[in-house]
Structure 1
Amino acid sequence: MSTVPEPRLAPVSAFAPDVPANGDLPLTPRPSPGRAAVPFDIPGVFVGTAEYTEGPTGCTVVYVPAGARTAVDARGGAVGMTGGYEFNHAICLAGGSVYGLSAAAGVSAELLARRQNRTKWDELQLVSGAVVYDFSSRETAIHPDPELGRAALRNAVEGAFPVGRCGAGRSATVGKVDNVRAEYGGQGAAFRSIGGIKVLVATVLNAVGVVVDRSGTIVRGNYHASLGSRVHPVEDYALSLPEPVNGNTTLTVMVTNARLTDRELNQLARQVHSSMHRGIQPFHTENDGDVLFALTTDEADLDGLKPTGLGAFASEVAWDAILSGAE
């Protein structure tokens, strides 16, 4: 039987003018450990988080020093992304909407410094990034910037992914049929292996939709205080056709060690991203900017496992990651 968590309603921003922004306060990047860290066993993959508590807002960096081939699946009507390269050394996820895109520039600058400012073609460090709109639950204009991106990279450690209200998920909310019914989401992660194939999926939950578990129970979002329960958004839309809430996005990073062709990697990204509608309903709406980055370290042959089977397996890991972020 599903255990339904207690509500954690998010405050609704008044969107007042002249709230503090980055230049108005002496900001210092802080650690952003969340409530726990999910261990994973993919050597050469590092994860770091940092936040501005004054926001609050933060960013999350997945760092692969050797670089990794990447497929990007971007959906929804409000995608905020930079880079989108087919090969990356780091992925930077951040709050702050369009202003938070600058955090990826900080990751890039830090990597340049680590390469002793070498700029030969094959020394270039590639960084892609994407952002969530996290202003709806706070009264500041503070956003992740290059310094916060640098800090998240400097905090990166191998084999552990922070989860909870941390990193890019620091002020993320879900179930936003109406902002007064939104609940805090967060950052989730899950890791599984099948034979020698390993899959890590991490996601930042800031969706219009609610989070649904495998029993069909809504576990986070669209909480009606008058009813004392969560309601599926379709019921609200059918009854009152509320105006859609703008500024939502789910960001996902999937890392595997499976050796795949470019076509197989791209299809894996699509398959897993499509599957996530089971755990987030509705998903990929006109008001979401959903992006999934799929990276492979190209270390292990499938050995009989078909790419479609890997996709089915990874899709379950993605659902676990969604539920992890809703805890």
Structure 2
Amino acid sequence: MDQLHNRITDVPGLRIGHAEDVRALTGVTVIYPDAPAVCGVDMRGGGPGTRETDALAPENLVDAIDALVLSGGSVYGLGAADGVVAKLGALGRGFRLMDLPDIPRSPVVPAAILYDLANGGQKDWGVTPPYYELGKAALDRVTVEFALGAVGAGIGARAGQLRGGLGSASQRTSEGIHVGAIVAVNCFGSVIMPGTDAFWAWPLEQNGEAGGYRPDPSLTVDGDDWGAAKADPSGAMGRTNTTIACVATDVALTPAQAKRMAQMASAGLARAIRPVFAPFDGDVVFALSTAHQPLAEPSQLTITRIGALAADCLARAVMRGVYAAKDA
């Protein structure tokens, strides 16, 4: 197995764009498929903030999206999708049941947000939060090679007691299946093992991509030792949380299959963060299919393999995002 850029954009048909408000210490990341892409979603956190996720249910009308938004800003950040919708609509992209003259299309742009309002940035924006403009700017900047770390939706993130960030990773199988992940890591839990610099997900690291830290072989961990989480079991409840992510493949999937991919990929967060999916986390994982190649038979086994690779890529992306942000 190998990867080209070791980013989600190794999946053919995807580009990524970031935009930040450095003063407010917040930002937006846009995932942009070159053509409408099938999308599924899995929400495990107890406090999610999302847009258009109900539309992704397999039984509903919409079967593909035009873009996906990951944003800081809590509820204010959902406005980033408005900027993306406006720009895509002006470009003539979006859903409609039939062609009617002078009737604009309706771009389908799901979104998820993380809470970075209490991170020290200046949030005195009054009635004009920056997210509408940040959404448009991020869409303008989509590219295959994009920055990791304290950028985009991850610029104001915290990973437990460490600086969080934007991470990505990819995998290409020997027969050419591409799988990738992108994540903004703003978790309540810790990404490192107690008393060490080693990531929980260190066995999944490839080619030193997250610094190559390793734990002492004699290390054991008590169930109530959360290490560098935002609080320990006896401390105050953390509220500045949520990890939001997207995994993708170039294999053609149905909406139901994409949802299963998202569900399996959520295991990657559990491998990389402890504790995870807490009542005050809003953890959300989307899954995209760009459909550049058919689903190989036996289909259920192929979906299982893609879901397992997506979980590994997501765990690696968590490590890479935090590692890339540590010196920012």
1:166 counterpart = 2:167:
no
User: Which string of whole-angstrom CA distances, capped at 9 and with x for unpartnered residues, describes residues 257-288 of structure 1?
Assistant: 11223332211110111332010111110010
* Aligned counterparts of 1:108 and 1:264: Cα–Cα separation in 2: 26
Match of 1:107 in 2: 84
User: Which string of whole-angstrom CA distances, capped at 9 and with x for unpartnered residues, describes residues 270-315 of structure 1?
Assistant: 0111332010111110010011110101222343552112211221
Match of 1:318 in 2: 314
* Aligned counterparts of 1:167 and 1:295: Cα–Cα separation in 2: 20
Give matches, 1:226-245, under 5 Å. 234-235=224-225, 241-245=234-238
Pick from 93, 98, 115 the counterpart of residue 133 of structure 1: 115
CA deviation after TM superposition for structure 1 residue 139, in Å: 4.2
Match of 1:7 in 2: none
* Aligned counterparts of 1:283 and 1:71: Cα–Cα separation in 2: 21
1:198 counterpart = 2:178:
yes
CA deviation after TM superposition for structure 1 residue 214, in Å: 3.3
Alignment RMSD (CA, Å): 2.9
CA gap 1:116/1:65 in 2 versus in 1, 3 angstroms: closer
* Aligned counterparts of 2:110 and 2:308: Cα–Cα separation in 1: 26
Give matches, 1:58-207, under 5 Å. 58-84=27-53, 85-86=55-56, 87-115=64-92, 123-141=105-123, 143-157=129-143, 159-175=144-160, 182-194=161-173, 195-207=175-187
CA deviation after TM superposition for structure 1 residue 160, in Å: 2.3
Aligned pairs, number: 274
User: Which string of whole-angstrom CA distances, capped at 9 and with x for unpartnered residues, describes residues 126-171 of structure 1?
Assistant: 11111111122214215542111100100112x2242110000001
- Identical aligned residues as a percent: 34
* Aligned counterparts of 1:39 and 1:138: Cα–Cα separation in 2: 30
Preserved CA contact (<8 Å) 1:111 1:125? yes
1:267 counterpart = 2:260:
yes
Give matches, 1:7-26, under 5 Å. none
Match of 2:60 in 1: none
Preserved CA contact (<8 Å) 1:94 1:144? no
* Aligned counterparts of 2:37 and 2:141: Cα–Cα separation in 1: 20
Q: Which amino acid aligns with 2:162?
A: E
1:60 alignment partner, SS class: strand
Gaps of 5+ in 1: 1-35, 176-181, 221-230
Q: Which amino acid aligns with 2:286?
A: F
1:88 alignment partner, SS class: coil
User: Which string of whole-angstrom CA distances, capped at 9 and with x for unpartnered residues, describes residues 23-80 of structure 1?
Assistant: xxxxxxxxxxxxx984733333121101111111110001113111110111211111
Q: Which amino acid aligns with 1:152?
A: A
User: Which string of whole-angstrom CA distances, capped at 9 and with x for unpartnered residues, describes residues 185-212 of structure 1?
Assistant: 1000001111221111000000001113
* Aligned counterparts of 2:20 and 2:6: Cα–Cα separation in 1: 16
Pick from 19, 32, 45 the counterpart of residue 14 of structure 2: 45
Match of 1:213 in 2: 200
CA deviation after TM superposition for structure 1 residue 124, in Å: 2.5
CA gap 1:104/1:37 in 2 versus in 1, 3 angstroms: farther
Preserved CA contact (<8 Å) 2:93 2:106? no
* Aligned counterparts of 2:46 and 2:307: Cα–Cα separation in 1: 25
Preserved CA contact (<8 Å) 2:12 2:290? no
TM-score of the two chains, using structure 2 as the length reference: 0.76
* Aligned counterparts of 1:253 and 1:131: Cα–Cα separation in 2: 12
2:35 alignment partner, SS class: strand
CA gap 1:56/1:306 in 2 versus in 1, 3 angstroms: same
* Aligned counterparts of 1:127 and 1:117: Cα–Cα separation in 2: 9
* Aligned counterparts of 2:222 and 2:137: Cα–Cα separation in 1: 39
* Aligned counterparts of 2:232 and 2:113: Cα–Cα separation in 1: 32
Which region of structure 1 is more displaced relative to structure 2, 188-197 or 240-249?
A: 240-249
1:278 counterpart = 2:271:
yes
1:307 counterpart = 2:303:
yes
Comparing both chains, which one has the higher relative contact order based on Cα–Cα distances under 8 Å and sequence gaps of 6 or more?
2
Gaps of 5+ in 2: 57-63, 100-104, 192-198, 205-209, 212-220, 324-328
CA deviation after TM superposition for structure 1 residue 91, in Å: 0.6
CA gap 1:115/1:260 in 2 versus in 1, 3 angstroms: closer
Preserved CA contact (<8 Å) 2:7 2:182? no
Q: Which amino acid aligns with 1:48?
A: G
CA gap 1:302/1:171 in 2 versus in 1, 3 angstroms: same
